[in-house]
Amino acid sequence: MSDPWRKRCPEGHTAVTTRQTGGYYCQTCQARYAGEPHDAAADDAPDAPDVRWSYDVLEAVGMLYRETRDTETAVRARRVSDRPAAFGQTMRKARNRGLVEKVSAATSAGRYRVTETGERVAAQMVPQEAEP
Ligand SMILES: [Zn+2]
């Protein structure tokens, strides 16, 4: 439970410091996150729903795009998904494919936005008539 190497930020870094005021800080991301750091030991737990469950990369990009609607707006994983840890892990895969970018600020958790490539992919998945 208290093995420090187990504590990970949503990007999987282990250089996290929990804060007495709540939340934690990742030195690699240089970002603060709310809540508890991800416990890597939970990865091995068969019943950890948020970690075992994962998004399809394109599905996740589509979800992000439905929230932002452009390539400028960046939002937190928790705004898009009620499984922000799983969503964040999927965003990392999407970044590797050039579909999303992460915007990090020292004062807030990382936010994601779709790239132009991601927009082309996501736009094909968004029903046009959904636009009010
Ligand atoms: Zn990190």
Nearest to 7 by CA among 30, 48, 49, 35: 35
Span from the CA of 41 to the centroid of ligand 1 (angstroms): 17
Task: Compute how many other C-beta atoms are within 10 angstroms of the C-beta atom of residue 83.
Answer: 18
Measure the CA–CA gap between 58 and 56, rounded to whole angstroms: 6
DSSP secondary structure string for all residues of 99-111: SEEEEEETTEEEE
Element (H, E) at 19: none
CATH (one of 1.20.140.10, 1.10.10.10, 1.10.3720.10, 3.20.20.20) for 4-130: 1.10.10.10
Span from the CA of 1 to the centroid of ligand 1 (angstroms): 19
Span from the CA of 11 to the centroid of ligand 1 (angstroms): 5
For residue 103, give both structure tokens. Answer: 């915007």
Residues 67-113: tens digit of each pLDDT: 999 999 999 998 999 888 889 889 999 999 999 999 986 666 789 99
Domain ranges of the chain: 4-130
Residues 9-62: tens digit of each pLDDT: 888 888 888 888 888 888 888 888 888 887 766 555 444 444 445 788 888 999
